[in-house]
Every structure is written in structure tokens, then in C-alpha cells.
Structure 1
Amino acid sequence: MTNIAFIGLGIMGSPMAVHLANAGHSVAGYNRTPDKAQPLVEAGGRAADSIADAVQGADVVCVMVPDSPDVETVLAGQGGVFGSAAPGALVIDFSSIRPDVTAALAEQAAAKGFRLLDAPVSGGEAGARNAALSIMVGGSADDFEAAREVFDVVGKTVVHVGPSGAGQTVKAANQLIVAANIQALAEAVVFLEAYGVDTKAALEVLGGGLAGSAVLNQKKENMLTRSFQPGFRIELHHKDLGIVTAAAREAGVVAPLGALVAQLMASARANGDGGLDHSGLLRGVERLSGRTSENGEN
């Protein structure tokens, strides 16, 4: 059994913390909205009333918060992990943030006697609930091996991809690929519907060929039913594509499709769809096409 602090109990963090508690670890969770800790408490974990409370006695500190400034506050802010946890603790940041911020935080962590891994995840809410996340990990090989008992509980595909910041770089690439696939699927659905095709049957046969993908399998039902309950919100994917475009420019890499899909994601957010699942990009295609969903929206 390991003493684990889990900071951030949202759509992704809550089921991950629950899995760790169910695996027999002692888990103390903290979230700014206290009632988000209830599933962890029901699984035998403890609801902490602050970050400092959560990390007391923790061997491992897990973080799952939305953006770079949030991670900086949780780790290096007043009452944060670096000032409250015992030196030597292994810090695993599951958040998706800028690679340069991760690299800077890793230096701060080392100077204060902590070990930091950047371990962003892919798989959305379904992957978190089913403990089937893909986890791309940056940091030292020794720290990666030390974190295995945590990763194996919450993830299915876990790969050490390089030094600090490498995990975030790979996650940025992941978000580019996913966004492009969702946009292509959305355009295909609107195209098929315009011709009166049995769209469900069409997607079934497309899924069995070269056009098949995890995005098609996981997001087709959302699009067919126009049900966009968030598994991964548009506003978060908008943030991630900002990371992609900025990092590409910094590296001198041209990513024209990335720039386009970033603008389409920004448009969806500007039109009030930021709280929807990213499969809600379909609504943007409908707006551009002058079409109306069956539910009368757009």
C-alpha cells in the first residue's frame, strides 16, 4: 500500500483516484469543489480540506488540473505541494500543459528534493472510468519505474517517451491527431446526412475499413444522437491546440492542419460550445453548412 495524494477530482481525476483507492492504496484527495471528493470517500479514500492536508505523509502526489497556471499554483504556489509535501515524494502530473512549463517545474522540483514526472493521459472520461488510459510519460527512467504501481492501476498503454517535457510534447501531438479526426468525422456525418444516407450504417462500414479509428468508434454515437455530454470539453481541447500551435512555431515546424483545426475549435468555443464534448465540433460544421440539427439547435 502506498500513501497517495490526488489533487484535482474532476471528470478525469475522480475515477482515477477511485481506482487507486480500490487497488488498496491510501488516497487523500483534494478538489476546490469539496463535493467532488464524494466518490473517493465512498471508495475508502479521504477528502482533504487543502493541498497541504492532502500531501501530508504522501509518498506519491498525483495532479490532474486543467491548465499550466493551475499546475504552477498547485505545485509551486503558497500552500502548494513543494512547500507542504515531504522531500523525496514522487510527483506525477497527469495534467496536459505546456512542455516548457513542465521543464521549468521539473527543475524547481529537483532543487527542492522532489521527483517530477509529466504524465498526460489520453482516453477521455471513458478511459479514466475503465482504467484504460494511454499515458505518455516524461522524466527519468528510474522515476518512471517507481511510478509503475500507480500507472498500471489507471492506464492500459503506459510508455516512457523521454526526459521532462517529452510527455507533454507527445500529448500535444495526440491532441492534434484527435482534433483532426473529430473534425473529419463531423464533416463526413454532415455530408452523409445531406444525401439522405443511412448514416449509422455508413459509419459502421467505414469503421471496418481504412477510415476506421478510435475517434470514429467512440464519437459516432455522440454525433448520430447529437448528445454532447462532455467526456473531454471543447474548451480544454481549445487550450491544448493553443499549446500545439505555439510549440510548433517555437520549433520552426509548419502545421497547417493544426492551425486550421485550432481555429475551428476556437470558433466552437466562441459560439458557446466550450462546455460540450469535443465531438460537438459537428455543430460548427452544421453552422458553416447552414444546416439545423434534428433537435432544432444551430
Structure 2
Amino acid sequence: MRIGFIGLGIMGGPMAANLVKAGHAVTGHNRSRAAVQRLVAAGGGAASTVADAVRDADVIITMLPDSPDVEQVALGEILPAAQPDALYIDMSTVRPQTSVAVAHTFAARGIRTLDAPVSGGEQGAIDATLSIMVGGSPEAFGRARPVLDALGTTIEHVGPDGAGQTVKAANQLVVAGTIELVAEAIVLLDATGVDVEAGLRVLGGGLAGNRIIDRRAESMLARRYEPGFRVDLHHKDLGIGLEVARDAGVVVPLGAVVAQLMAAVRARGDGALDHTALLKLVEALSGRTR
């Protein structure tokens, strides 16, 4: 397929490259020209504007930071330039209401849409092993499946417009809570003088096992916080999760606490670090700052 890909950052860049590997003709646009050149080096094409990237595309994908970015790009730049029979897939993490509003506006032009946020982090994007939660019509999902199969291994249609974003909000609550508990376990083990690495291996092999221990324990123990997923973005996502819960009349007390802890990491000036920097906050609260 001819694919226009907007947003070639930490996640979007490797995702676009994997679409090229799968045989699709991908034209990318990004504010940073270096990101576009990396796609060109991987076999994709470059576009100087959003309109140039999407004008001849069968499928249009966006991977952008926040709801206002999606609204501006989708409604202001993609919609006027897209073909009437194009399929628009937003893989950003945004408010469910944003996805619904965009879908309704595009539908008035006869353009089908999907909201398809992802989970799996940078490594999942590189390895094409993302989990993809998709909202929209079953027909649009069927049409998108060959594209999504090149990006992930767990791909589920979870409901109508906005449903993908609702599932992603729940995902982000679980991920942040898990990081926080792993961080607390590391500080506890370290403070009591046990072998922390061995302790985490035991935890990872039992009922406490989780992907954070499997994938991030090494970098957390080394106190490396190069961003795979920035605190700033997870802070935004947790805000979406709390908003969704409030609108649904659901109480998420632990989610609210971890959202406040993520906000505290950001307030300390660590918003650009990886979200595993929750460990830095636990250490500071415990008087064990390194």
C-alpha cells in the first residue's frame, strides 16, 4: 500500500521503517528532518509537508504527542489533502473524545478512520511486537489489518470510535503502577542489603513477574533513564486515564496516586527522562538519593 506516515519520533520512526520492510511504499513527514532522513535511509520516501505525504496515500498514519497535535494535523492538514477513499489511522495516544470528533469529521468526507494506540515501548516498535488496541468500524479494521500486522503481534479490535484510546488509558494506568511497584521493590531490596539483581530474578520468575522486570530491570538498576517513553508523555496519558475514569463514574484510587507520583517526578525537572525515573522519586522519598 501507499502509506503516508506523520510523526517519525522514538515510536513512529521504527514503525515506519517496519512498514517499508513489509513491502509498503512509505512517505514520511516529521518536524525534525533528521528523522525523515532515517526513514529515507531505510528505503522510505520524504515529504516536506503533511499534504505532500498524504495526497496519494491509500493509508495515512499519525503518531503524534497529544490531542491538540492530532486535531491540528488531522483536521487542518490531512483532511484537505487526503483522497476520498483513504483510510486514516491515528496511532497516537489521545483523549477518546478527540478520536470520536476526528472520526465524525472525516466520515462527513467519506474517509474511514481508526484510533489504534500502541503499547510495547521503543523496543516493541523496533521489533514490530507492539500490542495494538483498535477502535472504529469492523470494515475499517479489516482493511487496516495488513498494515497493523507489520507493526505488532497482539492486534485487537476493541470497539467503536474512541475505544482504542480508552483501552490505552487503562494500559497506561497499569504500566505506571507496575513501574512504581518495581521501583519500590528495588529500593527496599537495596536498603536491606540483599543481592538486588538476584532478588529481581526471583520476583520475575514468580507471580510478581511482569514486563517491567523483564525489559527494564537492567536499566533501572544501572539508573539509566534515557527516554524510551518520557515522563512528560506518561504524565499526559495518566491525565487521560483519570478523565476517562471520572466520565465513566469509576473510582481508580491507585491510578490517582501513581498519577500524582508521576506528576511529582515531572515537577522535580525530570519530565524528559524515561518513565522508569519513578525510581529516582522513590529513592528521594526514602532519603536514599544517589
The TM-score by the shorter chain falls in which range? over 0.9
Partner of 2:200: 203
Partner of 1:151: 148
2:192 counterpart letter in structure 1: Y
Partner of 2:254: 257
CA drift of 1:149 comes to 0.9
Q: Does 1:128 align with 2:151?
A: no
CA drift of 1:113 comes to 1.5
Partner of 1:70: 69
1:54 counterpart letter in structure 2: A
Partner of 2:189: 192
CA drift of 1:183 comes to 0.2
Stretches of structure 1 that go unaligned for 5 or more consecutive residues are: 294-298
Answer with 31-40 or 146-155: which moved more: 31-40
Query: Mapping of 1:1-298 within 5 angstroms?
Result: 2-77=1-76, 80-293=77-290
CA drift of 1:97 comes to 0.4
List per-residue Cα deviations over 1:204-236 (Å, max 9, x = no partner).
011000000112111211211001111111110
List per-residue Cα deviations over 1:136-193 (Å, max 9, x = no partner).
0000011101001110001110000000000000000000000000000000000100
What TM-score comes out, normalization by structure 2 length? 0.99
The secondary structure found in structure 2 opposite 1:153 is: coil
The secondary structure found in structure 2 opposite 1:105 is: helix
1:285 counterpart letter in structure 2: V
The secondary structure found in structure 2 opposite 1:117 is: strand
1:235 counterpart letter in structure 2: D
CA drift of 1:39 comes to 1.8
CA separation in 2, counterparts of 1:195 and 1:245? 35
CA drift of 1:38 comes to 1.6
CA drift of 1:44 comes to 1.3
Q: CA RMSD in A?
A: 0.7
The secondary structure found in structure 1 opposite 2:36 is: helix
CA separation in 2, counterparts of 1:251 and 1:123? 26
CA separation in 2, counterparts of 1:222 and 1:278? 12
1:269 counterpart letter in structure 2: R
CA drift of 1:132 comes to 0.3
List per-residue Cα deviations over 1:236-279 (Å, max 9, x = no partner).
00000000111111111111111100000000011111111111
What TM-score comes out, normalization by structure 1 length? 0.96
The secondary structure found in structure 1 opposite 2:154 is: strand
Q: Structure 1 residue runs of 4+, over 6 Å off?
A: none
Figure out how many residues of one structure are paired with residues of the other and give that number: 290
Stretches of structure 2 that go unaligned for 5 or more consecutive residues are: none
CA separation in 1, counterparts of 2:27 and 2:246? 40
CA drift of 1:22 comes to 1.5
CA separation in 2, counterparts of 1:101 and 1:93? 11
The secondary structure found in structure 2 opposite 1:4 is: strand
The secondary structure found in structure 1 opposite 2:251 is: coil
